[in-house]
Amino acid sequence: MTRIVVLPHAELCPDGAVIEAEPGQSLCDALLANDIEIEHACEKSCACTTCHVIVREGFESLEPADELEEDLLDKAWGLEPQSRLSCQALLKAKELVVEIPRYTINMVSEGGKK
């Protein structure tokens, strides 16, 4: 099992969380399976950026993003060098520490939530 530390997010996971997931599972599926309702507007088909996360630790253990994911990430709100689309980041055995950005591009275009 892969250990994932989710940093606190005001709406989705106020206290943070530590979850376990099977290697090979996408980070998005692991979060959803553990009741962390990360947005995934395109139903995990790599067609949007709403499942954007920042991998604070363990980034190097993930396979590199492909060209389509890289192109989409360019449109993500709060993009950082360790950003990934959680629907495309397949887990390995190494522990990850992830941050779910406060906003998604959907929230930004709609004026955000307070």
Looking at the domain assignment, is residue 43 inside a domain? yes
Could you tell me the end-to-end alpha-carbon distance of the chain, in angstroms, rounded to an integer?
A: 36
For residue 20, being part of any structural domain is answered with: yes
**What pLDDT score was predicted for residue 49?**
94
Domain that holds residue 17: 2-109
Would you state the pLDDT for residue 108?
A: 45
Walking along the chain (114 residues) 10 residues at a time, the average pLDDT comes out as 97 96 97 96 93 97 96 93 98 97 65 46
Total domains in the fold of the chain:
1
C-alpha 94/C-alpha 80 separation (Å) is 21
Asked, for residue 81, whether it belongs to a domain, the answer is yes
Q: Is residue 94 part of a domain?
A: yes
pLDDT of residue 105: 65
Asked whether residue 28 is domain-assigned, the answer is yes
Q: Is residue 36 part of a domain?
A: yes
Are 51 and 38 spatial neighbours (Cβ–Cβ below 8 Å)?
Answer: yes
Q: How far does Cα 83 stand from its chain's mean position? A: 8
CATH code, 36: 3.10.20.30
**114 found inside a domain:** no
